[in-house]
Chains A and B, each alone.
Chain A
Amino acid sequence: MSANPQHTPYHPRWYRAPMPIFWWVRRWIHARFILRELTSIFVAGYALVYLLQLRALGMGPEAYGRFLELLQSPLSISLHGISLVFVMYHSITWFNLAPRALSLRLGGRRVPDKVIAGLNFAAWAGMSAALLWVTLTG
Chain B
Amino acid sequence: MAVESLAGNVSETPATGQTVTLEVFRYRPEEETEPVYQAYEVPVHKDWVVLDALNHIKDHLDGTLSYRWSCRMGVCGSCGMMVNGDARLTCATFVESLLPGPIRVEPLENFPVVRDLVIEMTDFMEKLESVKPWIIRDEEKPLEDGEYLQTPAQLADFEQFSMCINCLLCYAACPVYGLEPGFTGPAVIALAQRYNLDSRDQGAGERNAVLDTDEGIWQCTLVGECSEVCPKDVDPAAAIQRYKVSSTLQWYRNLLMPWSSK
Q: Please report A residues at the B interface, Cβ cutoff 8 Å.
A: 2-4, 6-7, 9, 12-17, 19, 23-24, 26-27, 29-30, 33, 37, 97, 99-103, 108, 110
Contact across chains for B33 and A4 when beta carbons are under 8 A apart: yes
CA distance A4 to B179 in the complex (A): 28
Residues in B whose Cβ lies below 8 Å from that of A16: 112-113
The 23 sampled A-B contact pairs (Cβ below 8 Å) are A2-B30, A2-B31, A3-B31, A4-B29, A4-B33, A7-B30, A12-B29, A12-B114, A12-B115, A13-B29, A13-B33, A14-B120, A17-B113, A19-B178, A26-B85, A29-B224, A30-B223, A33-B223, A33-B224, A100-B235, A100-B237, A102-B245, A103-B238
Q: Are A27 and B85 in contact (CB under 8 A)?
A: yes
A30 to B31 Cα, complex, angstroms: 34
Whole-angstrom distance from the CB of A19 to the nearest CB of chain B? Answer: 5
In the complex formed, the residue of B with least CB distance to A101 is B241
Question: Which 8 residue pairs are nearest across A and B when measured between Cβ atoms?
Answer: A14-B112, A101-B241, A15-B113, A13-B29, A100-B241, A100-B238, A33-B223, A7-B29
Query: Which among B34, B114, B241 is the interface contact of A14 at CB below 8 angstroms?
Result: B114
| Residues in B lying within 8 Å of A, measured CB to CB | 27, 29-35, 85, 109-110, 112-115, 120, 153, 156, 175, 178-179, 221-225, 227-228, 235, 237-238, 241-242, 244-245
Q: Find out whether the CB atom of A17 lies under 8 angstroms from the CB atom of B109.
A: yes
Q: How far is the CB of B248 from chain A (nearest CB, A)?
A: 10
Known contacts A15-B29, A26-B85: A37-B221 contact under CB 8 Å: yes
Beyond known contacts A6-B29, A33-B223, A101-B242: 11 more, CB 8 A cutoff: A2-B31, A4-B29, A15-B29, A15-B113, A19-B179, A23-B175, A29-B224, A33-B225, A100-B222, A101-B241, A110-B156
Q: How far is the CB of B212 from chain A (nearest CB, A)?
A: 16
A103 to B110, CA, bound (A): 30
Q: Known A7-B29, A14-B113, A108-B153; judge A100-B85 contact (CB<8 A).
A: no
Distance from A54 Cβ to chain B, minimum over Cβ atoms (Å): 27
